[in-house]
Structure 1
Amino acid sequence: MELIEYAAHDATGLAHLIRTRQVSAQEVHETARRAIAAVHQRLNAVVSGPWEVPLEHRAGGRFGGVPFVVKDIVCHAAGVATYYGTRALPKGLTYSHDTELMARFKAAGLATLATTTTPELANSAATVSELTGTTHNPWRVGATPGGSSGGSAVLVAAGAVPLAHANDGGGSIRIPAARTGLVGLKPSRGRVPLGPDQQELMSGNAVEFAVTRSVRDAAALLDAVAGPAPGERYTAPPPRRPYVCDLDGVARPLRVAVCTRSWSGVAVESTVSSAVSSTARTVEGLGHVVDEAYPDVDWDELIHAFNIIWCLGTSAAVSALAEAGGVPIDESHFEHTTLLSYRHGLTLGALDLAAAFASMNTVSRTVAEFMAQWDVLMAPTANQVTLPVNYLDRDGQPETSEEWVRRILADYPLCPLYNVTGAPAVSVPSATDPDGLPIGVHLGGGLYGESELIGLAAQLEAELPWYGRQPAVHVSRW
C-alpha cells in the first residue's frame, strides 16, 4: 500500500478497505509503521515504537486493523512502558493490565503501534519535555502543535495514523486539534471511563478520548468506547441513539452564541476573529439562530482555583512517580515548572481546596446558567493562529505555579471552562489563515450534549470541508 493511498483514508475508510479485503491488515500496518517512523524523524512525535507487531486487538471490531497510537500518559496497555513524559521514570512504568479505555480501544479493533510524546505529566500547552525533546507542528516546523496531546495530533495531521488517543484536563485534546487542523472532541465528564487506576483526574476536570481527522471517526469511536464501567466515580447518561446517527445533522435549529472577545489578557488576532465570524455566518446559513453573547466569567478567579487543583494533583503525581522510579524529587529528575506546582501543592490545605471547589462551582454555575439559554457557545479555540515551540519560555522561567498556569491557558481561555463544567466541547478546523494554517473554532455544548455538537460539526464539515487539507510535512509527499 502506497503512503499516498494510505493517508487518503480516515479510520472509517481504512476499516472498510480491510473488512472488504481490498487491502490486508498486515499491509496497512506495514505502511503505518513506515509512516510513523518517517513523521517521527522529522517532527519528534513518538516515545516508543513503531513496533513490528501491533498490540493484540479484535480484528472483527468496528475499526478492525486500523493503525492507532496512544499518548504516553493515563491510558496504558499491559506490558507496555509508560513514561508520563518524565525523566523520573528512566525505565517507565509497565503495568500488568490494560486500562478500561485501552481494553475498549482493542475491542474496537484498533491496532496500536506506538506511544506518543507529551510534556511532563501533561502539564503544558506545548509538547516539550526534557525526556523526549521538542515536538514540532507539521504545518510549520518550529511552531508548536499545542499540547499536551501534541505527539498524537502530529501523527494524525501528518497522515501517519487516522486517529489517536488523547486526553484533556484544560484543553489538551482541543488545543493540539486546533493547532494541527484536526477534530478534537472532549466528551462530557463520565462519558469515557478513566479506571481502574484512578477514579478521577484533576478533581474531575480531565477526560479521555482522541483526536481524529473526520467528524464521522469521532462519532464512531465515541460509540465504541463510551459507557459506564465498575468503580467509576462519574457516569454520564447514555445517548438517545448512537452518535453516528447524529452525522446527518441536527433535527432542529440550534441557538448558537458567538464570542470573539478574550477575557484572559491575550488578544484575539483579527484573522482568528474573522474566521470565527465567518464560521458563524455559515452556521446561520444552515438555519440556526446565531447571536453574540458570552458568559460573565472571572478569569482571575478561574486561574487561581485551577492552579490549586493543578498543584494538588501534581504533588500527588510527583510523589507517586518518584517512589515508583526510586528517585529523589529534585531538578535532575523533574522539570522546573513541575517542581513549582509540586512545592506549591505541599503548602495547600483543606481550606484551600474547599475555596477552589467553591470558585469552580461559581464558574460552573455561571456557564450552566448561560448555556440554559443557548445550545452552543462558539469561540476561538486559540486566540493566535500559531506560536513558536518555545513560546512559553519567552519571558524566562515562571516564578510561581500560578504564573505558569496563566501562561499555559491564556491563549485558550474557553478551553478550561468546559473542563470545569464537565460539559462536552469540540474544536473543528473550519477555517485557515491567508498562509493556509488551520484555525480551530471551539464549539461548547450543554452537559451531555455531544449529539448536538457532533451534528453541528458534521454540518460544518460538509459546508466547509477540511479533510483534504495537508500540512507541509505529510506522508503523501514522500
Structure 2
Amino acid sequence: MKLSEYVAHDATGLASLVRKGEVTPLELTQLAREAHDEANPRINAVIEFYEDAGTVTEVDGGLFHGVPFLRKDIGATEAGRLQEHGSRLFKGYRPNTDSFFFRRARESGLRTLGRTTTPELGMSGMTESILNGITGNPWDLERSAGGSSGGAAAAVAAGITPIAHGSDGGGSIRVPASWCGLVGLNPSRGRVSGGPDNQDASFGRSREFILCQTVRDMAAALDVFSGPHPGDPFIIVQPNRPYVEELSRPTRTLKVGVARTKWGAVNLEPEVLNAVESTAALLQEMGHTVTDIDPPYESIEYTRIMLAGSSVSASSLEDAARAMSRPINADTLEPINLRLYEYGRNSQGRARELQEILRRMRLRVGEAIHAFDILLTATMPTVALPHGGIYSTTNPTLSAEGFKEADAALFQYTGVFNVTGQPSVSLPLAQSARGLPIGVQIVGRFGDEATLVRIARDLEEARPWSRRRPSVRAGRN
C-alpha cells in the first residue's frame, strides 16, 4: 500500500483491508510513521511517536483491527507511557494505571502509536503550550487547530492516523473537529466510562471519545468504547442495537430546534450563520419540523460553573505537585493556569456551590429544549482563529475571571451540553470563502446517540465532505 492510498481510507476501511489480508497491521504502522514524518514537522500535532510502535500488539478481528491510533496527552491513560498534560509541572510523569478506554481500544484492534499535543492541563481552546509549542491547523498553519484535542484533530486532518483519542470537558472534541473539518462527537454523560481512576470526571462534564473523518467510524467507535464498568456511578440506558446497525436504519421525522442567534458575547460570523441556516433548510427538505429557539441559558451561568470548579482543580494540582516533588509557580504553570490555581486556592468554599449551580443550569436548559428531538447550532461562532490572543493559557495579562468570561463567550454552543450531559456532534458541513472548515453541531436527547448516528449519516450523504482536503496532508507528493 502506498501512502496516498493509506490516507484515502477511514479507519473502517483500513480495518476491512486488514481482515481481507490486503495489508498487515505492521504495514499500517509503518505508513502512519511515514505520514507522521511528512506532515508533523509542519503542524506539530504528535509530540511522541513511540520508539517501540512496531511491536505494539492488537487483538485480531476487532472492529478496528490493525488501525493506527493516537492518544491525547491528557485524560485516559496507558500504563507506563508518558502523560505530561502539556505542562512542565507533569514533565516525565508516567501513570501506572491502564484506563478502561485504552483497554477497549486494544480489544478493538486499535494500535496506539503515540501521543498528541494539548494545551496545558487541557484548559484552552487553543492548542499551544510552553512545553510543546504551537499546533498548526492543517488548513491554515497560521490558525489554531482548536483545543483541547487540537493535536488529535490536526493529526487526523493531516492523515497521520484516521482516528485519534480526544476528550471533551467544554467543547474539546467538537471545537477542533469544527476548525479542522472532522467528525467530533461528545457522547452522553456515562456512555463511555472514565474508570478505573476517573469515573464521571469533573462532575460529569468531561467525557473521553475520538475524532475521525466519517460517520461510520463514529458509529463503530461508539460500539467499541461504550458500556458500563464496575465503579461507574450510574449505568446509562443501553442502546437497542449496535450503533453500526443504526447506519442502515431510517430516520423518523424529528422536531428540530434551530439556534440562529448567539448564545454568548461573540457574534456569529455571517458564513457560520449561513451554514446553520442552510443545514436547517436541508433538514426541512428531508421532512423534519424546524423551529427557531432562543438561547436556553445566560453566558454568566457557565462562567460561574467554571470559576467554581477552579477550587476543586486547585486541590488536585496541589496533590499532583506533591507527587511530582515540584512547586506550583511560574516555572511549572503557564500564566493563566497559575492565576486560576490562585483563584481556586483563595475560594475553596465555592466548591460546595458547584453542584447547585450545575443543577440549576441543567434544569433551566432542560426545560427550554425539552420539546425537541435534536438541536441544530453552530459548533463555533467563528472559523479557526489565529494563534494566541486572549484564549491562550500563555496569555500574560488576563485575569482568571477574564479568561473564563472569554472562554464562555467563544465556546457558547458547546460547554452548555457538557453541563446537561447530552450527546452532541460537530459535522464538517460547510466551508468559508477562504476554504476554512465550518462545523455544524447536532445535539441529541440524553442517552440518544442512535438518533445522532442516523441524522449524521443523512447529512453526510446529502452533503459529503470526504473530498475536501487541507493544504497540509500526508501523501500529496
Shorter-normalised TM range: over 0.9
For the residues of structure 2 that align with 1:262 and 1:250, how far apart are their CA atoms?
32
Q: Which residue of 1 aligns with 2:151?
A: 151
When residues 189 and 386 of structure 1 are mapped into structure 2, their CA distance, relative to the original with a 3 A threshold, is same
Greater alpha carbon shift after TM alignment, 393-402 vs 96-105:
393-402
Q: Is the 8 A contact 2:262 2:268 kept in 1?
A: yes
Q: Report the 3-state secondary structure (helix = DSSP H, G, I; strand = E; otherwise coil) of the residue aligned with 1:378.
A: strand
For the residues of structure 2 that align with 1:89 and 1:302, how far apart are their CA atoms?
28
Q: How does 1:44-55 map to 2 (within 5 A)?
A: 44-51=44-51, 52-53=53-54, 55=56
For the residues of structure 1 that align with 2:65 and 2:232, how far apart are their CA atoms?
27
Q: How does 1:91-170 map to 2 (within 5 A)?
A: 91=92, 93-170=93-170
Greater alpha carbon shift after TM alignment, 231-240 vs 154-163:
231-240
Question: Over residues 339-367 of structure 1, what are the superposed CA-to-partner deviations in whole Å (9 max), with x where a residue is unaligned?
Answer: 111111112244x2343322222221122
Q: Report how many aligned residue pairs link the two structures.
A: 475
When residues 396 and 78 of structure 1 are mapped into structure 2, their CA distance, relative to the original with a 3 A threshold, is closer
Greater alpha carbon shift after TM alignment, 391-400 vs 282-291:
391-400
Question: Over residues 88-108 of structure 1, what are the superposed CA-to-partner deviations in whole Å (9 max), with x where a residue is unaligned?
Answer: 1221x2233311111000100
Shift in Å, 1:50:
4.4
Percentage of identical aligned residues: 38
For the residues of structure 1 that align with 2:250 and 2:352, how far apart are their CA atoms?
40
Q: Is the 8 A contact 2:6 2:31 kept in 1?
A: yes
Q: How does 1:267-416 map to 2 (within 5 A)?
A: 267-309=267-309, 311-350=310-349, 352-392=350-390, 397-416=396-415
For the residues of structure 1 that align with 2:170 and 2:41, how far apart are their CA atoms?
29
Question: Over residues 120-167 of structure 1, what are the superposed CA-to-partner deviations in whole Å (9 max), with x where a residue is unaligned?
Answer: 110000001111010000000110010000000001111111110000
When residues 218 and 393 of structure 1 are mapped into structure 2, their CA distance, relative to the original with a 3 A threshold, is closer
- Aligned amino acid, residue 278 of structure 2: S
For the residues of structure 1 that align with 2:159 and 2:378, how far apart are their CA atoms?
25
Q: Report the 3-state secondary structure (helix = DSSP H, G, I; strand = E; otherwise coil) of the residue aligned with 1:248.
A: coil
Q: Report the 3-state secondary structure (helix = DSSP H, G, I; strand = E; otherwise coil) of the residue aligned with 2:356.
A: helix
Please say if 1:228 is aligned against 2:232. Answer: no
When residues 306 and 96 of structure 1 are mapped into structure 2, their CA distance, relative to the original with a 3 A threshold, is closer
Q: Report the 3-state secondary structure (helix = DSSP H, G, I; strand = E; otherwise coil) of the residue aligned with 1:477.
A: coil
- Aligned amino acid, residue 294 of structure 1: D
Q: How does 1:257-276 map to 2 (within 5 A)?
A: 257-276=257-276
Q: Is the 8 A contact 1:315 1:345 kept in 2?
A: yes
For the residues of structure 2 that align with 1:82 and 1:210, how far apart are their CA atoms?
17
When residues 393 and 124 of structure 1 are mapped into structure 2, their CA distance, relative to the original with a 3 A threshold, is closer
Q: Which residue of 1 aligns with 2:64?
A: 63
Greater alpha carbon shift after TM alignment, 366-375 vs 79-88:
366-375
Shift in Å, 1:393:
5.9
When residues 396 and 49 of structure 1 are mapped into structure 2, their CA distance, relative to the original with a 3 A threshold, is closer
Question: Over residues 285-325 of structure 1, what are the superposed CA-to-partner deviations in whole Å (9 max), with x where a residue is unaligned?
Answer: 1111112113431211221122211x124213321321222
When residues 63 and 393 of structure 1 are mapped into structure 2, their CA distance, relative to the original with a 3 A threshold, is closer
Q: Which residue of 2 aligns with 1:208?
A: 208
- Aligned amino acid, residue 94 of structure 1: R
Q: Is the 8 A contact 1:248 1:458 kept in 2?
A: no
Q: Tell me the TM-score normalised to structure 2 length.
A: 0.96
Q: Report the 3-state secondary structure (helix = DSSP H, G, I; strand = E; otherwise coil) of the residue aligned with 1:470.
A: coil
Question: Over residues 51-86 of structure 1, what are the superposed CA-to-partner deviations in whole Å (9 max), with x where a residue is unaligned?
Answer: 342533212211110000000112111221111111
Shift in Å, 1:439:
0.3
Q: Report the 3-state secondary structure (helix = DSSP H, G, I; strand = E; otherwise coil) of the residue aligned with 2:185.
A: strand
Q: Which residue of 2 aligns with 1:19?
A: 19
Q: Report the 3-state secondary structure (helix = DSSP H, G, I; strand = E; otherwise coil) of the residue aligned with 1:94.
A: coil
When residues 198 and 296 of structure 1 are mapped into structure 2, their CA distance, relative to the original with a 3 A threshold, is closer
CA RMSD of aligned residues (A): 1.6
Q: Is the 8 A contact 2:258 2:377 kept in 1?
A: yes
Q: Is the 8 A contact 1:178 1:428 kept in 2?
A: yes
When residues 73 and 393 of structure 1 are mapped into structure 2, their CA distance, relative to the original with a 3 A threshold, is closer
Q: Which residue of 2 aligns with 1:174?
A: 174
Q: Tell me the TM-score normalised to structure 1 length.
A: 0.96
Q: Which residue of 2 aligns with 1:242?
A: 242
Greater alpha carbon shift after TM alignment, 25-34 vs 102-111:
25-34
Q: Which residue of 1 aligns with 2:189?
A: 189
Question: Over residues 372-398 of structure 1, what are the superposed CA-to-partner deviations in whole Å (9 max), with x where a residue is unaligned?
Answer: 200111111110112001133699635
Q: Report the 3-state secondary structure (helix = DSSP H, G, I; strand = E; otherwise coil) of the residue aligned with 2:9.
A: coil
When residues 250 and 414 of structure 1 are mapped into structure 2, their CA distance, relative to the original with a 3 A threshold, is farther
- Aligned amino acid, residue 329 of structure 2: D
